Chains A and B, each alone.
With several copies, the nearest count.
Chain A
Amino acid sequence: MAAKTAAGTIEPKKGLRAFISKNTNLVTFVSLAILLGLLTRGRSFEWPSVRNLMIAESVRAFAALGVGMIIITRGIDLSIGYVVCLVASVAASFAQTSDYTAALYAGRDFPLWLPFLAGIITGGLFGLLNGVLVAYGRLPAFIATLGTMSVARGFQLIYTKAAVVGSLKDSYKTISQGSLGPIPNLALYVAAACVVIWVLLRHTKRGTNFYAIGGNAMAARVSGINVERETVAVYTYAGILYGIAGCLLAGRLGLANALTANGMELDAIAAVTVGGVSQTGGVGTMSGMVIGVLTLGIINYGMTYLGVDSYYQLLVKGFIIIAAVYFDMKKYARRS
């Protein structure tokens, strides 16, 4: 240890209190879960409820993992909702049943991998565009992605002519809707994505580069990091995650339309922020992001489950987001 334990240092706090103050996100989530459990007399802990929560949040989880990484590099992405919407529409258009006369490619039957390929490429391309604008165009991420959001929306409407892209093949829907034993497929995909993101952030050079860029882009450049390339990479990865999200969402709904996933960017950003990913860059973990998604998920799910009046849901949600982030921030307060 380089630490001079002599006069200057104190032993780090141990035990429960230290754990709580280090894991506010987890504590928030667990408290909300217990609260909901009490309010529903334990029914929210039953498997069908847990399963629903997992299914409901899985698509958002992909978006959150993507934007979470972007925020770690000190960026932001407002285009998520419409990119996911466009991807879902593209994917759906290649997965419509061939006997559906109103299909975009009526009478054509495409192989099952095509919707995924098309969707992921679409998402990836939008991510790439965002990344290039931010990295090489030097646009603030907020404004670059606001622009691409508008572009994605335009493409979606032009592609679908505002019509619903529906009647998807059962084989396609099963990919999203199926289960492996009691565990929904979607949850498995999320788990796989989490492992990949965890390895990326924790165990690869690129992941460390993301933190470095978010922490101090100039210093990252001086340290030999290709800041532009890594920035393009993070937006592209995120785009690919949105692509997967869009494909799975289309399969889950059995359709896609212009309203699909609208506003998902705010949900995803709120979720990762609640999960402790800091908007000042350089801070955040995969587990935090997932906890954030689950926290917002349990708020939504709980309020729906309890039948809270929809007008009041908005109030409650607003206050809980504020409170959750407030407690999370407290742990940094002393340092500034």
Chain B
Amino acid sequence: MSDAGLEYVLEMVGISKSFPGVHALDKVTLRVKPGMVHALMGENGAGKSTLMKCLFGIYREDEGEIILKGSRSKFHSAKDALEAGVSMIHQELSNVPERSVSENIWLGREPLRRIGILKFLDHRKMHDDTSVLMKSLDMDINSSERMGGLSISKQQACEIAKAVSYDASVVVMDEPSSSLTETETAHLFKIIRNLTAKGVAVIYISHKMSEIFQIADEVSIMRDGKMIGTHPVADIDEDALIKLMVGRDNTHRFPPVESRIGELRLQVKGLCSSNPRSFRNVNFELRRGEILGIGGLVGAQRTELVVSIFGLRQVSAGEILVDGERVLVRSPRDAIAKGIALITEDRRGSGIFPLLSVTINTAVASLGSYLNVARFLEHRKIEAESQKLNEALRTKTPSMATQIQNLSGGNQQKVLVSRWLMTMPDILIMDEPTRGIDVGAKYEIYSIMADLARNGKSIIMVSSEMPELIGMSHRVMVLCAGRHTGTLEKSEATQESIMRLATQFE
């Protein structure tokens, strides 16, 4: 695979790209060496994904050229890119939910069997190849399972397997770890090291600082559509990197959470999912001003738990008390009425309204509080309030009227946070709240959490990022395969202690 003699396997020179209203890329140059992990960093909306989409033939760059393995290349479609030896894990999950794992992996390049002049699918080979691939990557996924039936993290694992299976010389990974826990991320890194050992170049995009220092050899930093510079990772430290990214000093990773823990706000008693595979007999309580972290491995049923509390799924037993009063939550409406808010994990599936404006996306859950006496919407107030919230989170958007689908992933997430802040919830449940969010904005979200806690609000934060769990939570509750295996006070919560509880299988 390695093209010996070439210093760079991929050169993107002077790439520019603009969308209506935005210069997403401005003469960006990126050079990637073979056998290396090249990290691409930058704030949300800096243009990382756009750059990679230009490489992959999804977008056509306005100017600039792409030189792959020494020759100038023009990719008109993903097919061209794949054939030239570029594969990509996309920021947004991109699979076909109704088809099987193996069909998804070989999509577009299915093994064929020739009968006469006709070519037919070789179902057996497809199945066998998948098993071999999964085995070689040490993944435990049944090749004939329906993709949509897998958990998000397993779906992501399939995407990784698929990208690897192309035997490409450049593998682009756009936030591959955003829906993975640390163990799985470690597994991903093993896969990446195997790739680089074979001379493959990996372009790795992530907002998780620690990962960069674990895996990357070089790092390029983008800001506002421009390339700021490329540095060997050995020459740079975290603070310097953050400074390059956000263009200002940022010494603290977490704001101080100085809140007074008050009386009980939420009690969950013996809650069991109606799905027998999911959580059972979960008990916990949440107080005013408290931030409760929920940790666990992927598949620990944390999402199921919070989603059930929010009324999106049925429970078969147990009760929920808000302010000491037993409540029946059959739908999100009931939950919202009780002052509960949930930022879901699946931004595209259950978060954004792609074609609607940033304003409506922000205000949609709180319209009821913005009605005048005639029950008409108070547009002016709505606009002012959504703009205020988005400004506070530094959402980067051409205007408040822009369709949210035109925002970068991280900025979309910020709008979702604004949406739920606007409902002024007493209990804010955040499922992977900082997934895909850049360090600067993460700090802003943490600050908001701290503010809310200080004002007596309660927060539940489901997170797969250990530092965040430890840094922000008053207590960390840990689930393992649907069982509540323990709760750690802030003082006891360390990577090791959480991990121990998270792996306490029956």
Contact = CB atoms under 8 A, between A and B. Distances in A.
Q: Does more than half of chain A's interface fall in helix, strand or loop, or is it mixed?
A: loop
Interface string A180-218: 000000000000000000010011110111011001101
A171 interface: no
Nearest to B334: A224
A166 interface: no
Contact of A222 (B18, B94, B121, B360): B94
B377 A215 contact: no
Contact of B98 (A209, A226, A282): A282
Contacts of B376: 199, 203-204
A299 B121 CA distance: 37
A219 interface: yes
Contact of A208 (B20, B148, B355, B360): B360
Contacts of A215: 96-99, 353-356
B353 A216 contact: yes
Nearest to A226: B333
A80 interface: no
A283 interface: yes
Nearest to B26: A7
Interface size class of B (residues with CB under 8 A): 35 or more
Nearest to B109: A224
Given A6-B224, A282-B356, A221 B332 contact: yes
Contacts of B79: 224-226
B397 interface: yes
A158 interface: no
Interface string B290-313: 000000000000000000001010
Contacts of B103: 208, 211-212
A8 B224 contact: yes
A208 B110 contact: yes
A285 to B, nearest CB: 12
B278 to A, nearest CB: 11
Interface in B40-92: 45, 56, 58, 77-79, 82-83, 88, 90
Interface string A69-89: 000000000000000000000
Which residue among A2, A216, A221, A222 has the maximum number of chain B CB atoms within 10 Å of its CB?
A: A222
A222 B172 CA distance: 13
A216 B99 CA distance: 10
Interface string B371-400: 100011101000000010011001111111
A201 to B, nearest CB: 10
Nearest to B113: A203
Nearest to B396: A4
Contacts of B110: 205, 208
B77 to A, nearest CB: 7
A67 to B, nearest CB: 19
Contacts, number: 213
Contacts of B365: 223-224
Contact of A2 (B24, B82, B395): B395
Contacts of B358: 2
Contacts of A17: none
A213 to B, nearest CB: 9
B276 A219 contact: no
B367 A208 contact: yes
A335 B276 contact: no
Contacts of B148: 335
B377 A212 contact: no
Contacts of A16: none
B119 A282 contact: no
Contact of A8 (B58, B94, B335, B396): B396
A205 B112 contact: yes
Contacts of B398: 3, 9-10, 12
B360 A212 contact: yes
Given A9-B398, A335-B406, A223 B371 contact: no
A211 B396 contact: no
Contacts of B24: 8
B108 A220 contact: yes
Given A204-B377, A223-B365, A216 B95 contact: yes
Interface stretch (B233-241, B253-261, B344-352): B344-352
A226 B77 contact: yes
Interface of A: 1-4, 6-10, 12, 199, 202-205, 207-209, 211-212, 215-216, 218-226, 278, 280-283, 334-335
9 contacts: A2-B395, A8-B225, A10-B18, A10-B276, A202-B121, A204-B375, A208-B364, A215-B356, A222-B312
Given A2-B390, A221-B312, 18 more contacts: A2-B276, A2-B387, A3-B398, A10-B277, A203-B123, A204-B120, A207-B121, A211-B96, A212-B96, A218-B94, A222-B350, A223-B364, A224-B82, A224-B108, A282-B96, A282-B353, A335-B19, A335-B406
For the complex of A and B, the 6 pairs showing the least CB-CB separation, nearest first, are A215-B353, A215-B96, A224-B79, A223-B108, A224-B108, A219-B94
Interface of B: 18-24, 26, 45, 56, 58, 77-79, 82-83, 88, 90, 94-99, 103-104, 107-110, 112, 119-121, 123, 148-149, 224-226, 276-277, 310, 312, 331-333, 335-336, 342, 344, 349-356, 358, 360, 364-365, 367-368, 371, 375-377, 379, 387, 390-391, 394-400, 403, 405-406, 419
